Every structure is written in structure tokens, then in C-alpha cells.
Amino acid sequence: MSSSSTPLPPKLDTIVQKFKRREDPKKRYEQLLWYAKKLEAMPEEGKIAENKVQGCVSQVYITANLQDGKVWYQGDSDAQLVKGLVAFLIEGLNGLPPAEILQVTPDFIEETGLKVSLTPSRANGFYNIFQLMKQKALGLQLEMSA
């Protein structure tokens, strides 16, 4: 179980555990590239300023939609490694209610061991992608309660 105060959603926890088991930074990179290949293509119309992740060296876009009270993300990046980070987060957070996403703290990023493998700007970008996903979940939650 995760050491953060709030338990991680099951899918996210599974992914974090996979990365924790990979001692070799090269294996973590390979895992990210595998996620990048699995990521569904994002429609071009989603690649607009309001969906762009700020503070990322790469071009990164995230969209979020609400279906039956659950958040469904789509995302893309022009850098394969960053695309893997996007896919990691989408896989871990898709299909959760907004309130559950908002409870996730970024501690899990540290737990993956990826921070050691990533350049500081990429590690910061990973955090920024996660923050944008939380912002979008909050927006959807506010729409639900309006």
C-alpha cells in the first residue's frame, strides 16, 4: 500500500508498484515508452491553449470529459517519454469520479522512482501534467454540482 496519507486509486497504485519494482532507470524508461505506444490518439481539436500543460518543455495537451459521473482523459505530447508520462496518468486516473481524483496527492510521483530517471524539467512537467488533470477534474466536479 502507498505511504501517502490517502490510498491511491487501485489502477494508479498498480502502475506505481510496477515502476517501484524496476530498479534500473533504463527499464523505467522502457516502461514509459511502452505506455506511450498504448496511448490512444488524441483528436486534433483538443490541442488548444486551454488544454496545454504549462511549464512543460514539450507540447503536452490534456482534455477531460465527464460520462456517468466519471472523468475520462485524453492526452498527447510531441515527446515520446512525456507521452509515456501522460499515458501513465491517464491509465491511472481514467474512469474515476472527480472527487477521488482530487484526493490524490502528487506523493506517488516520488514513489515511482521516476524522479531519479527524469531530468528536472521532465519531472516538473510530470507534476504539471498531474496538476492540470486535477484542475480539469475540479472543473467537471463544479459543473456536476452546478
Q: Position of cell 504539471? A: 128
Among candidate residues 8, 15, 16, 56, the one labeled active-site is: 56
Q: For each of the domains in the chain, give its residue range(s) and CATH number, in order of start.
A: 10-145 (3.90.1010.10)
Q: Which of 72, 73, 77, 45 is nearest to 61 (CA)?
A: 77
> Model confidence over 27-79: pLDDT tens digits?
999 999 999 999 999 999 999 999 999 987 899 999 999 999 999 999 999 99
Q: Which of 124, 122, 44, 27 is nearest to 83 (CA)?
A: 122
pTM for this structure?
A: 0.93
Residues 6+ apart with CB under 8 A from 82: 56, 58, 60, 122, 125, 129
Residues 6+ apart with CB under 8 A from 33: 80, 81, 84
Instruction: pLDDT band for 3, please (50, 70, 90 cuts).
Output: very low
Quote the cell numbers at residue 89: 496518468
Averaged over 88-98, what is the pLDDT? 97
Supply the pLDDT for residue 23.
87
Supply the pLDDT for residue 1.
40
Check whether 10 has a pLDDT greater than 50: yes
Question: Are 47 and 62 a contacting pair, CB within 8 Å?
Answer: no
Instruction: pLDDT band for 5, please (50, 70, 90 cuts).
Output: low
Residue 42 phi, psi dihedral angles, 5° rounding: -95, 135
Supply the pLDDT for residue 118.
85
Residue 56 is among the residues annotated as catalytic for this protein: yes
